[in-house]
Structure 1
Amino acid sequence: MTSVSTPARQAAADPRRAKAKAGSTGWFFATPFLVFFGLFLVVPLGIGLWMSFTDTSLTGAGGSSFVGLDNYTEAIGDSQVWRTLGNTVWFTVLSSVPLVLVALVMALLVYTGMPGQWLWRLSFFASHLLPVAVVYQVWNMLFQPDRGMLNGLLDLVGIDGIGWLTDESYAMWSLALVTLWWTVGFNFLLYLAALQAIPDHLYEAAALDGAGALRRLWSVTLPQLRRTTVMIAVLQMMASLKVFDQIYLLTRGGPDGATRPILEYIYDTGFTNYRLGYASAISYVFFGVVIILSLAQLKIFSRRED
């Protein structure tokens, strides 16, 4: 019977040892991230899920007892949950569509070689760097009914002033406008990076075939941006569904709850009414809605791409 020599065995074992060593090195460098990921995401998710099945109060009075699905049953039957969820979805529709389209137009304008590109890039992206407190101060002054610049411009052309934040017909549109101005710079940057990654030979081939600028845009640029558009649309929808800061500062959910998002209702339930258990249950109901909408959006986009 033929036996394998010791050097041959070592040669066969070396790739396995190198692979095992590389794997252990990778886990070593990933350990700090995994520790923080577990402490600040997995553990809070687990605690929040358990809390949603209890009647935990922020005051700590009466202890914390297990109530099963009572919180979820109450949340499903709570009219405020569905109203605030409807407000959140409506805001998502109003803000997400222009945040994708306007970002695309801005990126195309810069990519086509406008004079002073560095200035345009800075101008388009600078607002995204502002903290929400600054955004609130700027737009709160613009929306002032008596001294605001927007109503001042309307007055110059003979149009009565608008209650931008106090009229139910305009409040949500005004908040969508604020969000567009504040956050469009990030989507603009993603589109600009995607445009710069399109191979030049595609445009050269289209030009040789006699395609004009609009035809190259429709047949080359937009198809090449399809995956980027899907990514931006999904990320933007998830971000808009989680809206809280600008609405809370500008309208506090008013007028008459017309702009109150579900996250503000969760905040008020948990930290104003002290019902942490019920607030946790609403959070998980909302989490389920976000997951369903995200999967549906990905499914729709994937079908269109196919």
Structure 2
Amino acid sequence: MREPAMTVTSVQDAGSRPHGLARYRDALSGYAFLAPFLAFYAVFLLYPFGLGLWMSLHDWEIVGDYREFIGLLNYQELWDDPYFWEALKRTLQFAAITAPAATVLGLVLALALNGPLRLHGALRAVFFASNIFSVTVVTLVWSMVLNPDRGLIANGMRAVGLEPIAFLADQDWAMPALVVTTLWWVAGFPMALFLAGLQQIPPEVYEAARLDNASRWAVLRRITLPALARTTLLVVVLQTVMHLQVFGQPLLMTRGGPANSTRPLVQLIYETSFRDWRSGYASTVSVVLFVMMFCVALLQFRLSRQEGD
């Protein structure tokens, strides 16, 4: 009676081995497909972040081999640095104005151009075209437009008898000028996201609203905006994270002036590292900026989960 039992067990083991080997091969194939992305992620994201965090704990010069571990002294210096707090204030001010404005502008453009006509398609291409320009081109164009001597706005003000304003040299106008320049540059991207969201709304819902004689405002408030809630959250987060990293516009248009009134955190990082050669201290500012962007992304993740629940 024992021999048949042993035979049955051996047959079961033989039948399970190919199945286990197949699962091992599938897992190995999956990791093989993921390997290029994981390698890219580790080399270009994880390693630079870890190195930056390590540098923030050192008195690290960009030139030479001087690297002295100083612990949290860079963070203590950052806390007492008035230039850091001024740059942080300007960065938050710029993001707080530009991100909501870009979201609203993108939504308005999407609602106005969400149609099947060829004119709608042409206008969508026109508004999105500015988004593909480099920051150098955008700032060059707007520096000429805002020029107080021969700029387009200056000539228009003279035509109506007004004195031209040196927007980029005035502390009260420099930041609004950068905001307008940025909105002209980036409005096409949120518009494209909102257009994608609008096209996902079933047309039967709008047909039912028309049968009920719902007004346009009621349709917008009760159908369109609730359906675009996730898209709106995504746009706000993307715009906020992007504008917290503002750098090219103030560097090329105002050099952070006048009187540091448009100097953002990234420009402070750039100048501290490449002008003052203090890479350790610049890495400390970078860590603070990363924490800010991480908190914004985490907030978006939590809000998305709550909405899903």
State TM-score, norm by structure 1.
0.91
Question: In structure 2, what residue type is equivalent to 1:205?
Answer: A
* 1:6 has 2:11 as partner: yes
Q: After TM superposition, give the deviation of residue 296 of structure 1 in Å.
A: 4.6
**C-alpha distance in structure 2 between counterparts of 1:78 and 1:65, whole Å:** 21
Matches within 5 A, 1:232-271: 232-271=235-274
Please give the secondary structure, in 2, of the residue aligned with 1:160. coil
Counterpart residue number, 1:273: 276
Counterpart residue number, 2:31: 27
Does the 8 Å CA contact 1:234/1:298 hold for their aligned counterparts? no
Please give the secondary structure, in 2, of the residue aligned with 1:116. helix
**C-alpha distance in structure 2 between counterparts of 1:178 and 1:208, whole Å:** 43
Q: After TM superposition, give the deviation of residue 9 of structure 1 in Å.
A: 6.7
Among candidates 59, 63, 67, match of residue 64 of structure 1: 67
* 1:120 has 2:123 as partner: yes
Among candidates 43, 47, 53, match of residue 43 of structure 1: 47
**C-alpha distance in structure 1 between counterparts of 2:268 and 2:152, whole Å:** 32
Counterpart residue number, 2:107: 104
* Cα shift readout 1:165-224 (whole Å, capped 9, x = no counterpart): 110111000001010000111111111111111111211222222223332222111111
In structure 2, relative to structure 1, the CA distance for the partners of 1:19 and 1:305 (3 Å cut) is: closer
**C-alpha distance in structure 1 between counterparts of 2:122 and 2:63, whole Å:** 52
* 1:225 has 2:228 as partner: yes
In structure 2, relative to structure 1, the CA distance for the partners of 1:263 and 1:54 (3 Å cut) is: same
Counterpart residue number, 1:204: 207
Tell me the C-alpha RMSD between the 2 structures: 2.3
Q: After TM superposition, give the deviation of residue 294 of structure 1 in Å.
A: 4.2
- The structure whose Rg is larger is 2
- What are structure 1's unaligned runs of at least 5 residues? none
Question: In structure 1, what residue type is equivalent to 2:160?
Answer: V
In structure 2, relative to structure 1, the CA distance for the partners of 1:70 and 1:14 (3 Å cut) is: same
**C-alpha distance in structure 2 between counterparts of 1:134 and 1:159, whole Å:** 29
Among candidates 283, 288, 291, match of residue 291 of structure 2: 288
More displaced, 229-238 or 289-298? 289-298
Q: After TM superposition, give the deviation of residue 6 of structure 1 in Å.
A: 3.2
- What are structure 2's unaligned runs of at least 5 residues? none
* 1:193 has 2:196 as partner: yes
More displaced, 1-10 or 93-102? 1-10
Please give the secondary structure, in 1, of the residue aligned with 2:173. helix
* 1:155 has 2:158 as partner: yes
In structure 2, relative to structure 1, the CA distance for the partners of 1:15 and 1:204 (3 Å cut) is: farther
In structure 2, relative to structure 1, the CA distance for the partners of 1:33 and 1:201 (3 Å cut) is: same
**C-alpha distance in structure 1 between counterparts of 2:162 and 2:254, whole Å:** 24
Please give the secondary structure, in 2, of the residue aligned with 1:177. helix
More displaced, 152-161 or 18-27? 18-27
